[in-house]
């Protein structure tokens, strides 16, 4: 899944079920589980990934949703979808596309790239939201 997000096959349902049961099935306040990995630089031409920092993590997407972060400057940040070669990024979605179109229509800047957890800790985020069909 990590290397080809559009290939969320039936096996992905089996893989994510334990996470859903562990976090969402406890009857608490958890509505979604976010996937994360160590912050990285962009994938090079050989599709190898270099770690940028051991202390920073990139939030990717939810088990069944796309993630957006609103920064203090008014821009909306979201992860990149996979490239034309099927590498990197997250799975796009219809609701995600509608949000991006609405932001463009309203002249809200969109930044595609890693969603730095450290930026949130540093107070650069105003809010976060997820979308799902």
Q: What is the pLDDT of residue 66?
A: 92
Place of tokens 């859903």: 20
What's the pLDDT tens digit per position in 92-103? 888 999 999 999
- For the chain, where are the alpha helices, taking DSSP H only? 10-19, 94-105, 117-121
Asked if 118 and 56 touch (Cβ cutoff 8 Å), the reply is yes
Q: pTM, whole model, 2 decimals? A: 0.73
Q: What is the pLDDT of residue 12?
A: 62
Q: What is the pLDDT of residue 69?
A: 97
Asked if 78 and 104 touch (Cβ cutoff 8 Å), the reply is no
Q: What is the pLDDT of residue 20?
A: 72
What's the pLDDT tens digit per position in 47-61? 555 555 556 788 888
Pairing state between β 76-78 and 110-112: parallel
Q: What is the pLDDT of residue 1?
A: 45
């Amino acid at each position: 899944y990590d290397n080809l997000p559009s290939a969320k096959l039936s096996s992905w349902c089996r893989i994510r079920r334990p996470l859903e049961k562990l976090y969402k099935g406890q009857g608490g306040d958890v509505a979604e589980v976010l996937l994360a990995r160590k912050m990285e630089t962009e994938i090079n031409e050989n599709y190898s990934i270099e770690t940028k920092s051991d202390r920073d993590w990139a939030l990717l997407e939810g088990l069944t949703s796309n993630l957006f972060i609103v920064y203090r400057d008014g821009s909306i940040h979201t992860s990149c979808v996979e490239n034309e070669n099927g590498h990197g990024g997250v799975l796009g979605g219809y609701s995600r596309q509608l949000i991006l179109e609405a932001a463009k229509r309203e002249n809200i800047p969109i930044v595609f790239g890693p969603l730095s957890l450290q930026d949130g800790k540093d107070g650069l985020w105003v809010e976060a939201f997820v979308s799902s069909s």
